[in-house]
C-alpha cells in the first residue's frame, strides 16, 4: 500500500533525513521518500504490519505533523 502525506514543516535535508529515518524503522515499511520541494512523504508499507495512523503518529512524534 502507498500513502502520500503532506508534511509542511519539511524544508531541508536534515528534515528529510529525520522523517525518513523515523518512518523507515516502523515494521512493515518497505520504502520511504520525503521531499523538501513538494513537502510530501511517500510511504510504501504492508497494511498487515502497520497502518497510516501509526505512520502519522510517528511523524508527529519526531516533530513533523502531517497536514
pLDDT tens-digit map of 3-19: 999 999 999 999 999 99
Is residue 19 left, alpha or beta, with left meaning phi > 0 and alpha meaning psi from -120 to 50?
alpha
Q: How far apart are CA 1 and CA 36, in angstroms?
A: 22
CATH number of the domain bearing residue 16: 3.30.70.100
Domain count, the chain: 1
Q: How far apart are CA 7 and CA 64, in angstroms?
A: 6
Please tell me the predicted confidence (pLDDT) of residue 24.
98
Q: What is the pTM of this model?
A: 0.95
Contact 36, 11 (CB under 8 A): yes
| 66 part of a folded domain | no
Please tell me the predicted confidence (pLDDT) of residue 58.
98
| 67 part of a folded domain | no
In terms of residue numbers, what domain contains 39? 2-61
pLDDT tens-digit map of 13-62: 999 999 999 999 999 999 999 999 999 999 999 999 999 999 999 999 99
| 21 part of a folded domain | yes
Amino acid at each position: 500500500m502507498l500513502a502520500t502525506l503532506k508534511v509542511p514543516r519539511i524544508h531541508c535535508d536534515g528534515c528529510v533525513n529525520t522523517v525518513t529515518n523515523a518512518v523507515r524503522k516502523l515494521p512493515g515499511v518497505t520504502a520511504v521518500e520525503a521531499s523538501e520541494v513538494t513537502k510530501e512523504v511517500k510511504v510504501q508499507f504492508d497494511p498487515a504490519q502497520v497502518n497510516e495512523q501509526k505512520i502519522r503518529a510517528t511523524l508527529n512524534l519526531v516533530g513533523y505533523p502531517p497536514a
